């Protein structure tokens, strides 16, 4: 359940599994006249508030010839607005002991500020000002083009495995270009981006009617809504952007080998087209992932790392490597990445992983193992909900993808209701070698250095 770009999910815990209904996240949903959706969740356990703005645009919204544009624009949003020049937001938030950041995903782009609750008005004003009046100039665009190119060099081109995973893997698991192109983009496309492109992108996607504002933490609801209306209410709406077609053609098994000059041990990526979001199989696949990868008692840890001693490390999830099970629209494949010892071959490791799926297909999961995994899930959920930022992210993803932030209070129950029979049926349906994409990553050796 670990992710290439820093996503982290399930960990072990020792609490008995119980229904999640004994813990309820307060959720109040509102909508301004300009279409901005506002979700509030009050929690006064600590004098902290998270302001989280999510825009319904990501890498899968990009046009041909403009790959990496969603990520480029994420950088542009930190270049300053009319009333808050570059650096102002950092000074205000970090100067008050807070933190801020943003990130680009396949289906959305997020920005957040976490700071003392008595500074809520400052955070709202800053986010509203850049939603309304971002300053876009040729100089700022050039600076961020160079920043994004440098980020690609540092985090992808000069890191083992990452170029293969970011550039090659999507072309194997997807056929539709909207999903198969690199999330980070190419140098050629970044260099070709014009000032007009950026201005058009901002006007199209960074409008209030294409965004959700989440405010979570130590707030007074009535006063908070007044502040939101004051700062965001007069930002004009824009025509709704046209949504791209993410439909995938019939999947065909595909395999490729990538020679990585930076890798020191071999790795293999395996993936399977997944179920529809929030379908019964969706929850069953997520449960399978937990059985295989969550905690020191997981099957991969016990069978591949400690038993056969083939695997060194592994990552897996619905939506891997650039998203998690919650923040990905359909189509959402299930994929895993295993680094393994060089005295094994890629085919041996692939067969070992497939054997784990075969075991799930032929043997119902025991009540004890399923109880352990459900305990971990519930404990992880409760732990995450203690953080105002984690709560805001979950609320935002439900609101953007499902138009219902309140799902945060019911999804865990659906997850915990998954049965051994559902797990076995899903394993049979989805984890067939004929539905599998494989990327073998091999060290290039001395000639590749």
Q: Is residue 119 part of a domain?
A: yes
247 burial level (CB within 10 Å; 0-12, 13-18, 19+): exposed
Tell me the β-bridge partners of 438. 255, 270
Q: Is residue 134 part of a domain?
A: yes
Instruction: Say whether both 223 and 260 belong to one domain.
Output: no
- DSSP code of residue 387: S
Q: Which two tokens stand for residue 345?
A: 């071959």
Instruction: Say whether both 225 and 274 belong to one domain.
Output: no
Instruction: Say whether both 319 and 218 belong to one domain.
Output: no
User: Which strands make up the sheet holding 211-217, listed edge to edge?
Assistant: 28-31, 37-42, 211-217, 48-55, 109-116, 99-104
pLDDT for 20 equals: 43
Instruction: Say whether both 365 and 304 belong to one domain.
Output: yes
Instruction: Say whether both 194 and 335 belong to one domain.
Output: no
Instruction: Say whether both 139 and 226 belong to one domain.
Output: yes
- pLDDT at position 105 over 50: yes
Percent of the chain exceeding pLDDT 70 equals 94
Q: 3-state DSSP call for residue 100? A: strand
Domain end position, chosen among 198, 232, 266:
232
Task: Say if residues 238 and 207 touch (Cβ distance below 8 Å).
Answer: yes
Q: 3-state DSSP call for residue 403? A: coil
Tell me the β-bridge partners of 54. 110, 212
In whole angstroms, what is the distance from residue 205 CA to residue 233 CA? 17
- pLDDT at position 378 over 50: yes
Q: Is residue 241 part of a domain?
A: no
Q: Is residue 307 part of a domain?
A: yes
Give me the domain span that covers residue 111: 24-232
pLDDT for 327 equals: 84
What is the average per-residue pLDDT within 278-291? 96
Q: 3-state DSSP call for residue 448? A: helix
Instruction: Say whether both 217 and 356 belong to one domain.
Output: no
pLDDT for 446 equals: 55
Instruction: Say whether both 112 and 62 belong to one domain.
Output: yes
- Residue 42, phi then psi, degrees to nearest 5: -85, 135
Q: Which two tokens stand for residue 50?
A: 């998270």
Q: Closest by alpha carbon to 51, among 106, 110, 108, 134? A: 110
- pLDDT at position 447 over 50: no
| CATH for 306 | 3.30.830.10
Q: Is residue 281 part of a domain?
A: yes
Instruction: Say whether both 57 and 185 belong to one domain.
Output: yes
Burial 307-344 (b: 16+ CB within 10 A, else e): eeebbeebbbbbbbbbbbbbbbbbbbbbbbbbbbeeeb
- pLDDT at position 100 over 70: yes
259 burial level (CB within 10 Å; 0-12, 13-18, 19+): middle
- Token match 């396949």: residue? 106
Instruction: Say whether both 87 and 134 belong to one domain.
Output: yes
Q: Is residue 261 part of a domain?
A: yes
Domain count, the chain: 2
pLDDT for 182 equals: 87
Q: Indicate the pLDDT class of residue 1, thresholds 50, 70 and 90.
A: low
Instruction: Say whether both 41 and 140 belong to one domain.
Output: yes
Q: Is residue 62 part of a domain?
A: yes
- pLDDT at position 120 over 80: yes
Instruction: Say whether both 371 and 430 belong to one domain.
Output: yes
Q: Is residue 424 part of a domain?
A: yes
What is the average per-residue pLDDT within 158-171? 94
């Amino acid at each position: 359940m670990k992710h290439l770009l820093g996503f982290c999910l399930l960990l072990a815990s020792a609490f008995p599994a119980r229904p999640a209904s004994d813990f309820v996240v307060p959720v109040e949903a509102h909508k301004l006249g300009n279409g901005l959706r506002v979700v509030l969740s009050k929690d006064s356990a600590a004098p902290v508030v998270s302001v989280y703005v999510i825009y319904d645009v990501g890498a899968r919204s990009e046009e041909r010839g403009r790959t990496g544009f969603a990520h480029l624009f994420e950088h542009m949003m930190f270049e300053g607005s009319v009333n808050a020049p570059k650096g102002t937001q950092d000074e205000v938030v970090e100067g008050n002991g807070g933190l801020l950041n943003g990130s680009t995903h396949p289906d959305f782009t997020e920005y957040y500020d976490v700071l003392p609750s008595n500074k809520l008005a400052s955070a709202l004003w800053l986010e509203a000002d850049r939603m309304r009046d971002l300053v876009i100039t040729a100089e700022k665009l050039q600076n961020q083009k160079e920043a994004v190119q440098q980020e690609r060099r540092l985090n992808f081109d000069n890191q083992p495995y990452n170029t293969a995973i970011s550039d090659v893997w999507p072309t194997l698991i997807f056929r539709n270009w909207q999903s198969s192109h690199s999330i980070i983009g190419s140098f050629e496309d970044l260099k070709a981006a014009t000032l007009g492109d950026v201005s058009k992108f901002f006007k199209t996607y960074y409008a209030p009617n294409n965004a959700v504002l989440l405010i979570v933490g130590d707030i007074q609801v009535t006063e908070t809504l007044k502040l939101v209306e004051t700062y965001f209410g007069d930002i004009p709406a824009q025509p709704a952007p046209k949504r791209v077609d993410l439909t995938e053609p019939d999947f065909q098994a595909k395999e490729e080998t990538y020679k990585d000059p930076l890798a020191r041990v071999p790795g293999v990526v395996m993936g399977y087209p997944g179920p529809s979001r929030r379908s019964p199989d969706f929850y069953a696949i997520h449960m399978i992932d937990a059985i295989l990868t969550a905690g020191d008692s997981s099957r991969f840890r016990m069978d591949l790392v400690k038993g056969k001693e083939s695997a060194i490390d592994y990552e897996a999830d619905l939506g891997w490597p650039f998203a998690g099970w919650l923040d990905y629209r359909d189509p959402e494949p299930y994929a895993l990445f295993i680094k393994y010892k060089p005295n094994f071959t890629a085919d041996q490791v692939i067969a070992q992983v497939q054997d784990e799926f075969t075991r799930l297909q032929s043997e119902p999961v025991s009540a004890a193992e399923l109880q352990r995994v459900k305990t971990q899930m519930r404990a992880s959920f409760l732990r995450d909900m203690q953080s105002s930022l984690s709560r805001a992210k979950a609320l935002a993803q439900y609101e953007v993808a499902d138009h219902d932030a309140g799902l945060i209070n019911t999804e865990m129950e659906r997850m915990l209701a998954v049965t051994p029979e559902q797990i076995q049926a899903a394993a049979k349906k989805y984890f067939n070698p004929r539905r599998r994409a494989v990327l073998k990553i091999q060290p290039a050796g001395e000639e590749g250095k």
